[in-house]
Amino acid sequence: MSDYLFLVPLFPLIGFLTNGLLIGRLPRPVISFVGCFSVGLSFVLSLMLFFELKALVPGMRVIEQVLFTWVPSGSFETNIGLLLDPLSAVMILVVSGVGFLIHVYSVGYMHHDPGYGRYFTYLNLFTFAMLTLVLADNFLLMFVGWEGVGLCSYLLIGFWFEKKSASDAGKKAFIVNRIGDFGFLIGVFIIFWKAGSLDFKIVQQMAPTVFMAGGALVTTACILLFVGAVGKSAQIPLYVWLPDAMEGPTPVSALIHAATMVTAGVYMIARTNFLFIMAPDALLVVAVIGVVTALFAATIGLAQNDIKRVLAYSTVSQLGYMFLACGVASFAAGIFHLMTHAFFKALLFLGAGSVIHAMSNEQDMRNMGGLRKHLPTTFFTMLIATLAIAGIPGFSGFFSKDEILWKAFSSQYGHPVFWVLGFITAGLTAFYMFRLIYLTFYGKERMDEKTRSHIHESPKSMTAPLVVLAVLSLFGGVVGIPHIFGVTNYFEHWMEPVMTGAGPAVQAHVPAASAGNTGLEWGLMLASVALVLGSIYLAYLIYNKRTELATSLKERFSLAHRVLYNKYYVDEIYGAAVVRPVVYLSLFLWKIFDVVVIDGFLNGLASFYAETSELIRGGQTGRVRTYATVFLAGVILVVAYMVLD
Amino acid sequence: MEKELLTLVTFFPLIGAVLLLFVPKDRPDSIKGLSLIIAFVTLIFSFWLYYGFDVMANGMQFEVNIPWISSLGINYHMGIDGISLLLIVLTAILTVLAILASWNSITTGIKGYFISMLLLETGMIGVFCALDFFLFYVFWEVMLIPMYFIIGLWGGPRRVYAAIKFVLFTMFGSLLMLVAIIYLLFEYQRFSGVFSFDMVKIIDDLPLTYREQLWLFGAFALAFAIKVPLFPFHTWLPDAHVEAPTAGSVILAGVLLKMGTYGFIRICLPLFPEASMAYLPYISVLAIIAIIYGALVAMVQKDVKSLVAFSSVSHMGFIMLGMFAFNVQGLEGSVIQMINHGVSTGALFLLVGMIYERRHTRLIEDFGGVAKVMPVYATFFMIVALSSIGLPFTNGFVGEFLILLGTFKANVVYAVIGATGVIFAACYMLWMYQRVFFGKVTRAENEKLVDLDWREKIILIPLVILIFLIGIYPKPFFDRIEPAVNNIVAKVEKARSLAAESGRESQNKFFATDQAETEVVIDSKEPPNE
List Cβ<8 Å contacts ≥24 apart for A214-220: A214/A278, A214/A279, A214/A280, A214/A281, A215/A278, A215/A279, A217/A190, A218/A275, A218/A278, A218/A279, A218/A282, A219/A279, A219/A281, A219/A282, A220/A187, A220/A190
- Residue A192 · residue A198 · CB < 8 Å: yes
Indicate the pTM of the whole model.
0.89
Maximal C-alpha separation, chain B: 74
Is B175 in CB contact (< 8 Å) with chain A? no
- Cis preceding linkage at B229, omega within 30: yes
Q: How far apart are CA A125 and CA A104, in angstroms?
A: 16
Q: Annotate B349-361 with DSSP letters as a single string.
A: HHHHHHHHHHHS-
Contacts of B183 (CB under 8 A, 6+ apart): B216, B520, B521
Residues A226-236 have a mean pLDDT of 92
Structure confidence at residue A102 (pLDDT): 92
Please provide the average confidence, as pLDDT, over all residues in chain A.
86
- Residue B243 · residue B158 · CB < 8 Å: yes
In chain A, whose CA is at the least distance from the CA of B472? A70
> Would the CB atoms of A182 and B423 count as touching at under 8 Å?
yes
In chain A, whose CA is at the least distance from the CA of B428? A175
> Would the CB atoms of A182 and B419 count as touching at under 8 Å?
yes
What's the pLDDT band for A512 if we cut at 50, 70, 90? very low
Is B369 in CB contact (< 8 Å) with chain A? yes
Structure confidence at residue A315 (pLDDT): 92
What's the pLDDT band for A513 if we cut at 50, 70, 90? very low
Q: What residues of chain A lie within 8 A of the CB of B475, using their CB?
A: 68-72
Distances (CA, A) of B203 to A484, B132, B197, B199, B213: 76, 11, 10, 6, 12
Maximal C-alpha separation, chain A: 124
What's the average pLDDT block by block, 10 residues per block, for chain B (530 residues)? Answer: 83 92 87 92 93 86 88 88 93 94 87 92 94 92 90 88 88 89 89 86 86 90 91 87 91 92 92 89 93 91 91 94 91 94 94 90 88 91 93 92 92 91 89 90 85 91 94 92 90 81 51 39 41
Distances (CA, A) of B33 to A279, B10, B21, B125: 66, 20, 14, 22
- Cis preceding linkage at A465, omega within 30: no
Contacts of B408 (CB under 8 A, 6+ apart): A186, A189, A190, A193, B415, B416
Of B329, B369, B474, the CB nearest to A76: B329
**3-state secondary structure string across A285-334:** HHHHHHHHHHHHHHHHHCCCCEHHHHHHHHHHHHHHHHHHHHHCCCHHHH
Q: Is B67 helix (H, G, I), strand (E, B) or coil?
A: strand
Structure confidence at residue A142 (pLDDT): 93
Q: How far apart are CA B525 and CA A215, in angstroms?
A: 53
Q: How far apart are CA B392 and CA B74, in angstroms?
A: 46
The H or E element spanning position B261 is: helix B257-263
Residues A560-577 have a mean pLDDT of 79
Beta strand segments in A76-145, E:
76-84
The number of residues making up chain A comes to 645
Closest CA to A412 of A342, A515, A511: A511
- Residue A94 · residue B347 · CB < 8 Å: no
> Would the CB atoms of A158 and B438 count as touching at under 8 Å?
yes
Q: What residues of chain A lie within 8 A of the CB of B438, using their CB?
A: 158, 161-162, 164, 167
When scoring B307, B364, B414, B423 by the number of chain A Cβ atoms within 10 A, the one with the most, hence best to mutate, is B423
Residues A98-124 have a mean pLDDT of 90
Q: How far is CA B400 from the centre of its chain?
A: 16
Closest CA to A310 of A300, A301, A299: A301
Phi, psi of A373 (to 5 degrees): -70, -35
Is B232 in CB contact (< 8 Å) with chain A? yes
Q: What residues of chain A lie within 8 A of the CB of B301, using their CB?
A: 590
> Would the CB atoms of A583 and B327 count as touching at under 8 Å?
no
When scoring B393, B452, B457, B464 by the number of chain A Cβ atoms within 10 A, the one with the most, hence best to mutate, is B393
Is B422 in CB contact (< 8 Å) with chain A? yes
> Would the CB atoms of A185 and B437 count as touching at under 8 Å?
no
Residue A505 reports pLDDT greater than 70: no
> Would the CB atoms of A583 and B300 count as touching at under 8 Å?
yes
In chain A, whose CA is at the least distance from the CA of B476? A72
Residues 255-294 of B with CB under 8 A from A: 293
In chain B, whose CA is at the least distance from the CA of A151? B391
Residue A503 reports pLDDT greater than 90: no
Q: What residues of chain B lie within 8 A of the CB of A190, using their CB?
A: 408
Q: Is A83 helix (H, G, I), strand (E, B) or coil?
A: strand
- Residue B206 · residue B191 · CB < 8 Å: yes
> Would the CB atoms of B419 and A168 count as touching at under 8 Å?
no
Structure confidence at residue B343 (pLDDT): 95
Of A76, A162, A602, the CB nearest to B439: A162
Of B238, B299, B328, the CB nearest to A74: B328
Q: How far apart are CA A28 and CA A126, in angstroms?
A: 20
Q: How far is CA A142 from the centre of its chain?
A: 15
Structure confidence at residue B526 (pLDDT): 43
pLDDT digits (tens, 9 = 90+) for A336-369: 999 999 999 999 999 999 998 888 888 888 888 7
Closest CA to A409 of A424, A423, A419: A419
CA atoms within 13 A on the CB side of B495: 23
Structure confidence at residue B139 (pLDDT): 93
Q: What residues of chain B lie within 8 A of the CB of A172, using their CB?
A: none
**3-state secondary structure string across A555-610:** HHCHHHHHHHHCHHHHHHHHHHHHHHHHHHHHHHHHHHHHHHHHHHHHHHHHHHHH
Q: What residues of chain B lie within 8 A of the CB of A609, using their CB?
A: none
Q: How near does any CA of chain A get to the CA of B323, in Å?
A: 14
pLDDT digits (tens, 9 = 90+) for A15-70: 999 988 888 788 888 999 999 999 999 999 999 999 888 888 877 888 888 888 89
Q: How far apart are CA B502 and CA B492, in angstroms?
A: 15
- Residue B60 · residue B77 · CB < 8 Å: no
Pick from A425-434, A447-456, B112-121: least confident? A447-456
> Would the CB atoms of B474 and A71 count as touching at under 8 Å?
yes
pLDDT digits (tens, 9 = 90+) for A460-471: 888 899 999 999
> Would the CB atoms of A186 and B419 count as touching at under 8 Å?
yes
Q: How far apart are CA B45 and CA B37, in angstroms?
A: 12
Contacts of A315 (CB under 8 A, 6+ apart): A234, A242, A257, A258, A262, A345
Q: How near does any CA of chain A get to the CA of B500, in Å?
A: 22
Distances (CA, A) of B101 to A38, B9, B96, B98, B250: 39, 22, 9, 5, 10
Q: Is B527 helix (H, G, I), strand (E, B) or coil?
A: coil
Of A73, A148, A154, the CB nearest to B332: A73
Of A154, A171, A586, the CB nearest to B299: A586
Of B238, B297, B402, the CB nearest to A586: B297
A360 DSSP 8-state letter: T
